[in-house]
Amino acid sequence: MRWPSDWVDSLSGESEAVGGPIVGLRLEYGAEHWVWRIRSTDPGKTDALGESNAEPTSGVEALVDATDLSLVRRHEVTLTKAEATGTDTSYYDAVKASGEEWPGPRLVELVRVVDDGRPTWRVTTYDTEDGHLAPRTL
């Protein structure tokens, strides 16, 4: 299983799983294999003038195989208010700030939330040595 800090930046723009900037990801186990649930904005289709038909809350949710990052499933979603609101920190910078580093804690969830009235990121890491989950807001 690959660590998000190794692949998250290249996924946007290179995978059909992601529509636009990533607004959340979570590691899940189901159907006997690990997947990443990735939520992103959806830029929608553009007309001849380059205008998008997407609403600010238009999003995409995809399940991606955690081993090879192949697309398992993808569908349209409505983003939450926190997901639809921009932050000063990009998803890539939030992943880096999570402290994920081999062999230490591993990032298992990245969620855009509203904290004290402003949008920010909540990261949850899993300590591979003691099994402890540690959520924190950046």
pLDDT tens per residue, the chain (138 residues)? 666 777 787 777 778 899 889 999 999 998 889 999 999 998 776 666 767 767 889 999 999 999 999 999 999 999 999 999 989 899 889 988 888 877 778 899 999 999 999 999 999 999 988 999 999 999
Cβ count near 101 (within 10 Å) = 13
Q: What residue has token string 């006997």?
A: 32
CA distance 90 to 95: 9
CA distance 70 to 46: 26
Residue 73's contacts (CB-CB under 8 Å, 6 or more residues apart) are: 62, 63
Q: Which amino acid is at 55?
A: E
